[in-house]
């Protein structure tokens, strides 16, 4: 008995040790708890930065709107507020955390859509159980100035709104800032190849379970096009594909670039916690429009492009970033 | 790095791998120790192989070790560089570069010249995370001072880099000093049967190159079982007697047929120690094949056809070269005491045949 207690103690010691090693000294947060501007109804104009919401009602976040004076309301509503992000957080990765939202939401940062969970009618699917974590692309941020967050929500029944959890912007670690950011809307279809008839929009990064593919395991394809600025044509570029669950293959302009895990043989994978950096060989990228396809196989549980700043970065900036991030 | 702890069988696997590794017959003595501080940079640039490229601004990290100790979460390409002197170059025998285990794929350059690669980069990616790196150097590449070694590494995920190894550096293979002519290093290789590939004048210039001794798995032919054919052209030195000479091919996994200038000079089944009722012993027998004097010309071609039943395959352990009768005996005696009666394969097979 004594012996086993000793083992437990040793085990606990190592567990604490590993937590310390993994703890992020950089972590800072800006709380977004408290009053937000609120209006029931739905209007795409409400996503915009310069929209005047001064006549909107105040609502406390987080809390079901039923408890804030909107008893019995189901349907669309919008939340808006401003937040000043200090210049001291420049270069840090910023994550917008909105706790739990009932049922479906779509999030805009300074007018640009940065994420979605669940899907709106007519193809309604709830994501009430999903923890809302949205990466803020740093090219959208105005430091030391107000930034507008707008959240469009659809509630189908009972409680609705930003109902619970931590509401904040987390700033952790040093962010990798792609020269061409590809976070945002991609095309998505299940299966092994691009299938235009089945294709639909999906927000990257974000697990597909939250975006209308609840419980889906198997093959899926992400695709989109992007414009390569002329000054990057002759640079060595790295494609940041984020953290992917479980295996993936990357194609640019139809050319196979790289893979992680064994996409074809699907032997068990231990790469679902790994961030993908794919080095693009010379001659693959072309001026103007380029096309990228990420093929994924998910064995079980959550699947898709889970997190990270997606995009292209020059090797120069890539190396600079890793030198900054080096453990000293 | 691929996780091995999926099944209890893999644990058995690990145990089996550890035991014979400590009984490795080859005797190494250190010439230059390369463990310690190396220049390091993430990223990928062919110019970094060039000794003239200035890397003084690069980071310094300790080798061997996982690069995650410095670059947590990093996956992708990175390069290692180090300068070294080679004042006491051994007069005879072979110098081998040992780099321990590298996760996942590497390519090694010395003074700007590529000397070898283990695993395969994109687009035909093949990890070799569990292979001990051993490279042989072409003659005349090393200088007494100011040599530059550059190692390009790709890591797919989890631990990456020159991750572990007891011996990192240049080592002198004592067994190789018994050879009259050392033939280890680059050989032509193919896994496809071709009707005339054992002929002397067969054109093998489209074949891939591999570095031996080393299993073909460690040269990018992961999971390949079955046929493999090695070819090597060499000039017979004038100062060596052609009488009573043997071709030493070290150890081959599993069966082999050997041709000298197009003539079959031996096969596994001809060896004294071969037991046809226990073919699994074949992979740990030393190969010595007598070279008939009349076959020796100035330009010669050795062809070794190998058939591997399962797991590791190919000419995996030296020494490889021409050896005289007396030294062949010394070599056999020297290594007999070390050789363990049970190989990994024989244990593995006995488990499966059970």
Look at residue A52 and give its three-state secondary structure: coil
Question: Does residue A55 fall inside a structural domain?
Answer: yes
Question: Does residue B323 fall inside a structural domain?
Answer: yes
Task: Indicate whether B135 and B204 sit together in one domain.
Answer: no
CB-CB contact of B189 with B110 (8 Å) = no
Q: Which domain holds residue A169?
A: 28-174
Report d(CA B132, CA B7) in Å as an integer: 23
Residues of B in contact with A260 (CB under 8 A): 75, 156-157
Instruction: Flag if A274 and B157 touch (Cβ within 8 Å).
Output: yes
Task: Indicate whether B79 and B193 sit together in one domain.
Answer: no
Per-residue pLDDT of B282-314, as tens digits, reads 888 889 999 999 999 999 999 999 999 988 899
Domain boundary residue, one of A125, A146, A174: A174
Q: Which domain holds residue B187?
A: 179-338
Residue A23 Cα, gap to closest chain B Cα (Å): 12
Instruction: Flag if A256 and B6 touch (Cβ within 8 Å).
Output: no
Report d(CA B49, CA A293) in Å as an integer: 32
Instruction: Flag if B125 and A315 touch (Cβ within 8 Å).
Output: no
ipTM of the complex: 0.74
Task: Indicate whether A169 and A214 sit together in one domain.
Answer: no
Task: Indicate whether B148 and B96 sit together in one domain.
Answer: yes
Residue B93 is part of a domain; what is its CATH number? 2.60.120.260
Domain total in chain A: 2
Report d(CA B87, CA A233) in Å as an integer: 46
Q: Where are the alpha helices (DSSP H) in chain A?
A: 2-22, 315-325
Task: Indicate whether B137 and B205 sit together in one domain.
Answer: no
Here the tokens at position A139 are 């090219």
Question: Does residue B22 fall inside a structural domain?
Answer: no
Residue A277 is part of a domain; what is its CATH number? 2.60.120.260
Question: Does residue B143 fall inside a structural domain?
Answer: yes
Task: Indicate whether B159 and B232 sit together in one domain.
Answer: no
Residue B165 Cα, gap to closest chain A Cα (Å): 23
Task: Indicate whether B203 and B327 sit together in one domain.
Answer: yes
Using the predicted structure, report yes or no on whether residue A320 has a pLDDT greater than 90.
yes
Question: Does residue A1 fall inside a structural domain?
Answer: no
CB-CB contact of B178 with B327 (8 Å) = yes
Which string of b and e fits B135-153 if b means at least 16 CB within 10 Å? Answer: bbbeeeebeeeebbbbbbb
Q: What's the mean per-residue pLDDT of chain A?
A: 90
Dihedral sign (CA B93, B99, B101, B103): negative
Determine the pLDDT at residue B346: 47
Task: Indicate whether B189 and B283 sit together in one domain.
Answer: yes
Per-residue pLDDT of B175-218, as tens digits, reads 888 899 989 888 999 999 999 999 999 999 999 988 888 889 87
Using the predicted structure, report yes or no on whether residue B236 has a pLDDT greater than 50.
yes
Question: Does residue A162 fall inside a structural domain?
Answer: yes
Instruction: Flag if B42 and A319 touch (Cβ within 8 Å).
Output: yes
Look at residue B6 and give its three-state secondary structure: coil
Report d(CA B231, CA B198) in Å as an integer: 8
Question: Does residue B67 fall inside a structural domain?
Answer: yes
Look at residue B269 and give its three-state secondary structure: helix
Per-residue pLDDT of A73-104, as tens digits, reads 999 999 999 999 999 998 888 999 999 999 99
Task: Indicate whether A87 and A201 sit together in one domain.
Answer: no
Per-residue pLDDT of B109-166, as tens digits, reads 999 999 989 888 999 898 888 888 988 887 789 999 999 999 999 999 999 999 999 9
Residues of B in contact with A318 (CB under 8 A): 42-43
Question: Does residue B105 fall inside a structural domain?
Answer: yes
Using the predicted structure, report yes or no on whether residue B30 has a pLDDT greater than 90.
no
Task: Indicate whether A249 and A162 sit together in one domain.
Answer: no
Cβ contacts from A onto B, under 8 A:
64
Determine the pLDDT at residue B134: 87
Domain total in chain B: 2
Partner B contacted by A238 (CB < 8 A): yes
For residue A289, give the nearest of A222, A223, A226, A224 by alpha carbon: A226
Task: Indicate whether B123 and B187 sit together in one domain.
Answer: no
Question: Does residue B220 fall inside a structural domain?
Answer: yes
Q: What is the CA radius of gyration of chain A?
A: 21
Domain boundary residue, one of B158, B177, B196: B177
Residue A178 Cα, gap to closest chain B Cα (Å): 15
Q: Residue A30 burial by CB count (10 A; 0-12/13-18/19+): exposed, middle or buried?
A: middle
Domain boundary residue, one of B145, B177, B209: B177
Partner B contacted by A265 (CB < 8 A): no
Task: Indicate whether B243 and B281 sit together in one domain.
Answer: yes
Instruction: Flag if A271 and B158 touch (Cβ within 8 Å).
Output: yes
Query: Tokens 């390949």 — which residue?
Result: B224
Partner B contacted by A327 (CB < 8 A): yes
> In sequence order, what DSSP letters do the residues of B173-190 get, joined into one string?
EGGGGG-SEE--EEEEEE
Question: Does residue A9 fall inside a structural domain?
Answer: no
Question: Does residue A12 fall inside a structural domain?
Answer: no
Q: What's the mean per-residue pLDDT of chain B?
A: 85
């Amino acid at each position: 008995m004594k012996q086993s207690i000793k083992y437990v103690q040793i085990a606990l010691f190592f567990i604490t040790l590993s937590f310390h090693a993994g703890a992020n000294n950089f972590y800072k947060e800006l709380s977004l708890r408290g009053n937000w501007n609120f209006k029931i109804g739905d209007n795409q104009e409400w996503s915009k930065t310069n929209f005047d919401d001064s006549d909107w009602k105040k609502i406390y976040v987080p809390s079901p709107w039923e408890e804030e004076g909107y008893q019995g309301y189901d349907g669309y509503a919008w939340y808006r507020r401003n937040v000043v992000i200090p210049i001291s957080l420049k270069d840090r990765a910023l994550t917008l955390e909105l706790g739990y939202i009932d049922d479906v939401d779509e999030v805009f940062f300074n007018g640009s859509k940065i994420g979605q969970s669940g899907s709106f009618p007519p193809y309604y699917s709830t994501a009430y159980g999903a923890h809302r974590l949205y990466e803020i692309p740093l090219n959208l941020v105005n430091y030391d100035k107000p930034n507008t967050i707008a959240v469009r929500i659809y509630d189908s029944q009972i409680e609705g709104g930003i109902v619970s959890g931590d509401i904040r912007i987390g700033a952790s670690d040093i962010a990798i800032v792609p020269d061409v950011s590809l976070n945002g809307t991609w095309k998505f279809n299940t299966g092994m190849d691009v299938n235009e008839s089945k294709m639909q929009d999906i927000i990257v990064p974000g697990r597909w379970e939250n975006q209308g593919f609840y419980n889906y395991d198997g093959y899926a394809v992400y695709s989109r096009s992007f414009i390569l600025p002329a000054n990057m044509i002759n640079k060595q570029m790295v494609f940041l594909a984020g953290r992917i669950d479980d295996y993936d293959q990357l194609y640019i302009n139809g050319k196979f670039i790289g893979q992680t895990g064994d996409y074809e043989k699907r032997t068990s994978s231990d790469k679902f916690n790994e961030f993908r950096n794919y080095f693009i060989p010379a001659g693959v990228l072309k001026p103007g429009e380029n096309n990228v396809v990420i093929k994924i196989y998910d064995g079980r549980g959550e699947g898709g492009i889970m997190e990270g700043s997606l995009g292209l970065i020059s090797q120069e900036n890539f190396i600079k970033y890793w030198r900054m991030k080096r453990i000293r | 790095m691929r996780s091995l702890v999926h099944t209890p069988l893999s644990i058995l696997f690990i145990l089996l791998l550890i035991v014979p590794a400590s009984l490795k017959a080859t005797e190494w003595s250190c010439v230059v120790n390369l463990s310690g501080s190396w220049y390091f940079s993430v990223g990928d640039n062919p110019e970094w192989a060039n000794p003239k490229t200035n890397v003084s601004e690069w980071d310094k990290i300790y080798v061997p070790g996982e690069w995650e100790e410095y670059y947590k979460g990093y996956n992708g390409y990175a390069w290692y560089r180090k300068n070294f002197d080679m004042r006491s170059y051994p007069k005879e025998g072979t110098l081998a570069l040992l780099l321990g285990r590298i996760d996942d794929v590497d390519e090694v350059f010395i003074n700007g010249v590529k000397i070898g690669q283990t695993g395969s980069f994109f687009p035909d990616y093949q990890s070799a995370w569990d292979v001990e790196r051993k490279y042989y150097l072409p003659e005349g590449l090393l200088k007494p001072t100011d040599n530059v070694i550059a190692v390009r590494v790709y890591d797919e995920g989890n631990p990456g880099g020159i991750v572990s190894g007891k011996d990192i550096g240049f080592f002198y293979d004592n067994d190789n000093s018994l050879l009259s002519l050392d033939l280890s290093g680059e050989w032509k290789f193919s896994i496809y049967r071709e009707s005339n590939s054992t002929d002397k004048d067969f054109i093998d210039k489209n074949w891939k190159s591999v570095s031996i001794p080393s299993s073909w798995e460690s040269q990018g032919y992961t999971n390949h079982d079955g046929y493999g054919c090695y070819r090597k052209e060499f000039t017979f030195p004038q100062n060596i007697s052609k009488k009573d000479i043997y071709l030493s091919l070290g150890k081959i996994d599993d069966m082999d047929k050997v041709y000298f200038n197009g003539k079959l000079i031996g096969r596994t089944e001809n060896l004294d120690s071969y037991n046809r009722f226990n073919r699994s012993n074949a992979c740990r027998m030393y190969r010595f094949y007598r070279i008939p004097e009349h076959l020796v010309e100035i330009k010669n071609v050795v062809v070794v056809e190998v058939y591997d039943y399962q797991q590791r395959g190919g000419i995996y352990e030296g020494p490889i070269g021409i050896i005289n009768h007396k030294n062949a005996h010394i070599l056999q005696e020297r290594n007999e005491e070390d050789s363990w009666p049970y190989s990994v394969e024989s244990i593995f097979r006995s488990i499966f045949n059970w």
